[in-house]
Amino acid sequence: MTPQFVLPMVLALLAQTASAGVATTVDSKKLNASHETINKTKVPLYKFIDQSDQGMQWSVANVADVGPALEAASNAVALLHAAHPSAVADAYGNGSMTNIEDTFKLFGGGNLERGCISHQYTTYNAVKKALGDKSSLTVSKIRVRLKFAFPHNAVIIFPTGTDWKKTGIVLDAWKRQKSALDKMVYTFPDWYGLVDAGAKLIGEDE
């Protein structure tokens, strides 16, 4: 679907919501700002709001809520990287190679600050705070078990009450060691295909 059809789809979704008698209190400025933030990712807006059986089926409220969360996550990861610079990450943009560098830094007092758990902790806390208590979205930590490797950890955002494997977007800045949204945001199916392992949501204390 080409971008010129995205706005009509949003308007149609608003009309559909109104005709169904669902109250919408979405601020247009917030929605527009969130749209601009989504455009920074590699996940096009039409994928979020596709209401078909194969679509992610996000509502207008979901779209409006996700923008601030994505911006907060990106900013938090940028601060993490600034506090713990990595020549390997800058050169290669690869989490596995950066882990090797981080392992050597343990002998100098490092604590795997560029590892996936550190990225998960930073991202989760930023998104949780940005969403607040009244969001239409849920954020959770997610873990996959890899063959011949340690478990991998990331963060997933999905509309509350939905099947996160179908509707979720994964925030994983560890993989490419970048805070830019086009380098850290995936649909769950795309991300799952990259890691190729069983996935589960985990609690805040895990």
pLDDT at residue 123 tops 90: yes
Q: Residue 163: its pLDDT value, please?
A: 93
User: What string of H, E and C letters represents the secondary structure of the chain?
Assistant: CCHHHHHHHHHHHHHHHHHCCCCCCCCHHHHHHHHHHHCCCCCCHHHHHCCCCCCCCCCHHHHHHHHHHHHHHHHHHHHHHHHCCCHHHHHHCCHHHHHHHHHHHHHHCCCCCCCHHHHHHHHHHHHHHHHCCCCCEEEEEEEECCCCCCCEEEEEEEECCCCHHHHCEEECCCCCCCCCHHHCEEEHHHHHHHHCCCEEEECCCC
Higher pLDDT, 65 or 8: 65
pLDDT at residue 15 tops 70: no
Instruction: State percent of the chain over pLDDT 70.
Output: 79
Predicted confidence (pLDDT) per residue in 77-97, tens digit: 999 999 999 999 999 999 888
Q: Residue 9: its pLDDT value, please?
A: 60
The pLDDT mean for the chain works out to 84
Higher pLDDT, 172 or 24: 172
pLDDT at residue 194 tops 70: no
Say if residues 182 and 196 touch (Cβ distance below 8 Å).
no
Count of domains forming the chain: 1
- pLDDT range class, residue 12, cuts 50, 70, 90: low
d(CA 129, CA 92): 31
Predicted confidence (pLDDT) per residue in 24-73, tens digit: 567 878 888 998 999 999 999 889 988 889 899 999 899 999 999 999 99
pLDDT at residue 22 tops 80: no
| The CA-based dihedral angle spanning residues 184, 185, 188, 191, taken in that order and rounded to the nearest 10 degrees | -30
Instruction: State percent of the chain over pLDDT 90.
Output: 55
Q: Residue 204: its pLDDT value, please?
A: 59
- pLDDT range class, residue 201, cuts 50, 70, 90: confident
Q: How confident is the model over 141-158, as a mean pLDDT?
A: 84
Q: Residue 75: its pLDDT value, please?
A: 98
Query: 45 is in which domain, residue-wise?
Result: 3-202
